[in-house]
């Protein structure tokens, strides 16, 4: 388990403890006397399940993401939104399941206020601890300063959120780019040895292990007794950015890291989930279809359902279904750009709310797509991108999805080569780490994206 996961679990445990405390003080403030043992037991019998719902809302709101909790303004907004959603869900639960002995109105209001305050305080305290103590873990980069190393060196904020600080570079060969001025740049191993043994350097990131000199290999071996960690650039870059360093991988990386045969049991379970979830969603969303269809027809001429050929798993073509969001007049089917003038008023709303993708549930049901996976691309565009970007075809080793790791990144990515490069980095990360936990994370982040009406 990575250090970042341990810290997130620790924060979640603290949240549960604070939710218990918030309930206790809510009961105390309601009557200005400590709750009786019976009153506490009656409430806790119900609220212990509600606490899980609140933690899930916190997770969906990104409140275990250090990039969020380090920013006070974003933290306050996300925590407020998560608290409101969690409170509304709790009200619905109490409305459906009436529990004798509980009058939730006053208690729930006090509980929500206390939970918001305590949630904010614990995260500010947590970031202070990370900033003052954990941030002191120093990193030394050993090897060539390539584009991926440069990106890491220029991301001091991201490194700090994970408890790291770049302090030294030991170049092992031809330098592709100059080292940043604020880093100690050395050419001999004695300086690195002294820095590690003095505790200034706690982690060594190897940027080019295939071309390490014998001297540096022996040095790293001799430093094993210091307790300093040693990791390759691929894994460290992936930890910090949750993407794959595309410029630094080759076919060997795929052979070492992609093993879909080991994931067959989960892929089978995922297919079953897709079938059941798509059926449920189609039934639930069916009352919306006539209203959406009517609004589309009123605003512009053309079919209600938009069909287009896309590439599925292993580049197999299929017809994708969506509610039409663009005008038919003078539309030559070029890729959509940000603030595209072809998008209708209702279409813009459908895109923001993701309701335009409801018909894709049919694609999921029949097996062309999954709920989570890389976005399917048009064949002609994919063919062009395959010629320009290495390993583009490998993103479809798994089924494409309604949502994916790239879509919940918070960035808008156009069909340009530069943005497609970033999308591929995220897609390969998903293919490598395909799992129930990652799919669940993407699902909850997608809910947050929809609530914020962002991401497209």
Strand partners, 139: 166, 203
How would you write the pLDDT of the chain (456 residues) with one tens digit per residue?
Answer: 456 677 788 888 898 999 988 888 888 887 788 877 887 787 787 788 888 888 888 887 778 877 677 777 778 888 888 888 888 888 877 766 666 556 667 788 888 899 999 989 988 888 777 666 655 678 888 877 788 888 888 887 778 777 788 888 887 554 445 555 567 777 778 888 888 888 888 888 888 766 677 777 888 888 888 878 888 888 889 888 889 988 888 888 899 889 888 899 999 999 999 999 999 999 999 999 999 999 998 888 889 999 999 999 999 999 999 999 888 776 666 767 666 778 888 888 888 888 899 999 999 999 999 999 999 989 988 888 888 888 999 999 999 999 999 888 766 666 677 788 889 999 999 999 998 888 888 887 787 777 665 545
Structural domains in the chain (count): 3
Judgement on whether residues 235 and 316 belong to the same structural domain of the protein: no
> Is the residue at 247 inside a domain?
no
Over residues 101-155, the pLDDT tens digits come to: 566 677 888 888 999 999 899 888 887 776 666 556 788 888 777 888 888 888 8
- What's the confidence (pLDDT) of residue 39? 78
- What's the confidence (pLDDT) of residue 1? 47
CA distance 421 to 428: 11
CA distance 320 to 308: 5
Bridge-based pairing state of the strands 370-372 and 401-403: parallel
Over residues 420-453, the pLDDT tens digits come to: 888 999 999 999 999 888 888 888 778 777 766 5
The boundaries of the domain holding residue 100 are 3-132
Judgement on whether residues 340 and 423 belong to the same structural domain of the protein: yes
Interhelix angle 264-285/436-452, nearest 10 degrees: 30
Domain closes at, from 132, 156, 173: 132
- What's the confidence (pLDDT) of residue 277? 92
Which are the contacts of 108, defined by CB distance < 8 A and separation ≥ 6?
26, 87, 90, 91, 94
CB pairs under 8 A, 24+ apart, for 81-88?
Answer: 81/451, 82/57, 82/58, 83/57, 83/112, 83/115, 83/116, 83/119, 85/57, 85/60, 85/61, 85/451, 86/53, 86/54, 86/57, 86/58, 86/112, 86/115, 87/112
> Is the residue at 339 inside a domain?
yes
The CA–CA distances, whole Å, from 383 to 292, 307, 375, 376, 389 equal 34, 20, 15, 13, 10
* 205 phi, psi to nearest 5 deg: -105, 120
Report whether 145 contacts 187 (CB < 8 A): no
Distance between start and end Cα atoms, the chain:
33
Q: Which CATH number does the domain housing residue 163 bear?
A: 3.40.50.720
Judgement on whether residues 211 and 329 belong to the same structural domain of the protein: no
Judgement on whether residues 170 and 87 belong to the same structural domain of the protein: no
CB pairs under 8 A, 24+ apart, for 379-386?
Answer: 379/309, 379/310, 379/311, 379/317, 381/335, 381/415, 382/311, 382/315, 385/417, 385/420
Domain closes at, from 115, 132, 149: 132
> Is the residue at 249 inside a domain?
no
Judgement on whether residues 64 and 125 belong to the same structural domain of the protein: yes
> Is the residue at 222 inside a domain?
yes
Judgement on whether residues 92 and 181 belong to the same structural domain of the protein: no
Report whether 171 contacts 187 (CB < 8 A): yes
Judgement on whether residues 295 and 436 belong to the same structural domain of the protein: yes
> Is the residue at 209 inside a domain?
yes
Judgement on whether residues 159 and 219 belong to the same structural domain of the protein: yes
Judgement on whether residues 285 and 407 belong to the same structural domain of the protein: yes
- What's the confidence (pLDDT) of residue 152? 87
Judgement on whether residues 343 and 435 belong to the same structural domain of the protein: yes
> Is the residue at 254 inside a domain?
no
Among 354, 260, 253, 239, residue whose Cα is nearest residue 314: 260
Judgement on whether residues 427 and 285 belong to the same structural domain of the protein: yes
> Is the residue at 246 inside a domain?
no
> Is the residue at 252 inside a domain?
no
Judgement on whether residues 314 and 418 belong to the same structural domain of the protein: yes
């Amino acid at each position: 388990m990575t250090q970042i996961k341990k810290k997130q679990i620790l924060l979640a445990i603290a949240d549960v403890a604070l939710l218990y405390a918030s309930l206790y003080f809510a009961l105390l403030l309601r009557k200005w006397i400590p709750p009786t043992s019976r009153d506490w037991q009656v409430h806790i019998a119900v609220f212990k399940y509600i606490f899980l719902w609140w933690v899930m809302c916190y997770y969906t709101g990104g409140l275990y993401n250090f990039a969020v909790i380090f920013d006070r303004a974003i933290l306050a907004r996300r925590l407020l939104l998560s608290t409101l959603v969690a409170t509304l869900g709790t009200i619905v639960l109490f409305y459906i399941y009436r529990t004798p002995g509980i009058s939730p109105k006053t208690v729930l209001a006090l509980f929500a206020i206390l939970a918001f305050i305590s949630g904010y305080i614990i995260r500010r305290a947590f970031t202070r601890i990370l900033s003052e103590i954990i941030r002191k873990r120093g990193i030394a980069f050993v090897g060539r300063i390539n584009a991926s190393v440069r990106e890491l060196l220029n991301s001091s904020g991201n490194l700090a959120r994970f408890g790291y600080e770049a302090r030294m570079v030991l170049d092992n060969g031809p330098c592709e780019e100059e080292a940043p001025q604020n880093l100690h740049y050395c050419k001999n191993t004695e300086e690195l040895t002294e820095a590690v043994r003095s505790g200034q350097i706690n982690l060594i990131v190897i940027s080019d292990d295939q071309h390490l000199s014998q001297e540096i290999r022996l040095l790293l071996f001799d430093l094993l007794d210091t307790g300093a960690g040693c990791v390759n650039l691929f894994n460290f870059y992936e930890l910090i950015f949750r993407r794959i360093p595309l410029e630094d991988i080759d076919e060997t990386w795929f052979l070492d890291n992609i093993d879909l045969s080991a994931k067959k049991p989960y892929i089978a379970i995922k297919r079953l989930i897709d079938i059941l979830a798509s059926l449920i969603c189609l039934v639930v969303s069916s009352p919306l279809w006539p209203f959406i269809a009517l609004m589309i027809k009123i605003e512009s001429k053309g079919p209600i359902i938009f069909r287009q050929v896309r590439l599925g798993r292993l580049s197999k073509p299929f017809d994708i279904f969506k509610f039409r969001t663009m005008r038919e007049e003078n539309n030559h089917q070029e890729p959509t750009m940000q603030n595209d003038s072809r998008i209708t008023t209702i279409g813009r709303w459908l895109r923001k709310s993701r309701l335009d993708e409801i018909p894709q549930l049919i694609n999921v049901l029949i097996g062309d797509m999954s709920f989570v996976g890389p976005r399917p691309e048009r064949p002609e565009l994919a063919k062009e991108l395959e010629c320009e970007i290495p390993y583009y075809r490998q993103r479809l080793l798994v089924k494409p999805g309604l949502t994916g790791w790239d879509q919940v990144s918070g960035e808008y990515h156009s069909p340009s080569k530069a943005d497609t490069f970033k999308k591929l980095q995220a897609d390969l990360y998903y293919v490598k780490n395909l799992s129930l936990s990652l799919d669940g994370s993407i699902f909850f982040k997608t809910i947050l994206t929809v609530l914020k009406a962002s991401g497209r």
